[in-house]
Amino acid sequence: MKTVYDFTVKDKKGEDVSLGEYKGKVLLIVNTATGCGFTPHYEPLEAMYRDLRDKGFEILDFPCNQFANQAPGSDEEIHSFCQLKYGTEFPQFAKIEVNGDNADPLFAYLATEKPFTGFGKGLKITLLKKYSDMNNKQFGDKAYIRWNFTKFLVDRDGVVLERFEPTADMADVRKAVEKLLG
């Protein structure tokens, strides 16, 4: 059975990193952007990381510029922004594409394991759906991720358990992580 440990990604310096290095850890894999309305998610993500990393928790951050060009900087500029503005310490990888023919295989896999089921309800969510639909038309059946800050929760065996859209309450994300950590 395939798991996230079967994938190799690039770190922010362009070096290969096997996700096998994270075997035995609970992972939250996130596609991010520095200029998005959801960018403040970095704050609760970093708080969760600081509180739970000693229990075997890792956040893997993958910047992506495919949603309204909200991550336009270089890998180094994005990393500096995150450290200066939010004090992030969790691993940040090279900027990737998460949709289309050039989608990173990891994200194609994650989204296949846990497909999009909706953003929820409300006016903000209706607007997000509208922009998401317009943006993702260009990717057709390869529109794996609907917007920035989609999060995938992975257990200690590398199995994808849950998908949290950017509209999910971060307190609910944290509860799911804590429950998995035991």
Q: What contacts 108, CB < 8 A, 6 or more positions away?
A: 142, 144
- Catalytic positions: 36
